[in-house]
Amino acid sequence: MYGMSGPYLIRGSVSLPEAELMWRFSRSSGPGGQHVNTSDTQVELRFDVARTEALPEVWKQRALAGLAGRLVDGVVTVRASEHRSQWRNRETAAVRLAALLAEATAPPPKPRRATRIPRGINERRLREKKQRSDTKRGRTGRDWG
C-alpha cells in the first residue's frame, strides 16, 4: 500500500531506527462506523530507550532522566488513534515519538548570569512607586466632607 515516510529524525543526523521500533495494533474507538469493529487502526509504538544503540550515550542518559515518569522498564510508549487509517496513525505515532525524544535529549539551557540592576532604573522605579502612593493617598475621603 504505502511506504513509511522515511526515517524519523530526532535531531541532527540521529533518527529513529526502524529495527528497534515495536508496533502493536488494536481496535480503535471513535468514528468509523462498522469499519471500526473490524480493523485494527489504533497504533501503539514502543521504543526501548535503555537498550537502544541509535542514541549517543549522553543523549540516552538525558532521555532516561527526562522521560523517567513515562518509562516502564526503560521502554517509552506512544499511542495514536485519531485517524481512521492505520497507516496515518503509524505516521502520527512515529512523529510523536521522535518529537518526544528530541525534547528529552535536548541539552539543558545555559544557566542565567546574574546582573546588577542599574541604579538609575531602580531610582526611577522607587520614584514612580512614591508618586503612585501619593496619588492613592490623595483619594482617601478625609477632607471631603
Which pLDDT tens digit goes with each residue over 94-145? 999 988 888 888 888 899 999 999 999 999 999 999 999 999 998 887 665 5
Dist CA 74 CA 77 (whole Å): 10
Are 8 and 15 in contact by the 8 Å Cβ rule? The answer is: yes
The C-alpha atoms of residue 75 and residue 52 are separated, in whole angstroms, by 10
User: Rounded to two decimals, what is the model's pTM?
Assistant: 0.66
Nearest of 60, 46, 54, 42 to residue 17 by alpha carbon: 54
Q: What is the DSSP string of 56-119?
A: -HHHHHHHHHHTTTT-BTTEEEEEE-SSSSHHHHHHHHHHHHHHHHHHHHSPPPPPPPP-PPPH
Quick one: pLDDT at residue 66? 85
Cα end-to-end distance, the chain, whole Å: 87
What pLDDT, in 10s, does the model give residues 14-71? 777 888 888 888 887 766 667 767 778 889 999 888 888 888 888 888 888 888 888 8
Return mean pLDDT, the chain: 84
- Give the confidence band of 1 by pLDDT, cuts at 50, 70, 90: very low
- SS3 state at 145: coil
**pLDDT at 4 > cutoff 70:** no
Task: Map grid coordinates 527526562 to a residue.
Answer: 66
Q: Give residue 74's region: left, alpha or beta (phi > 0; psi -120 to 50).
A: left
45 in Cβ contact with 97 (< 8 Å)? yes
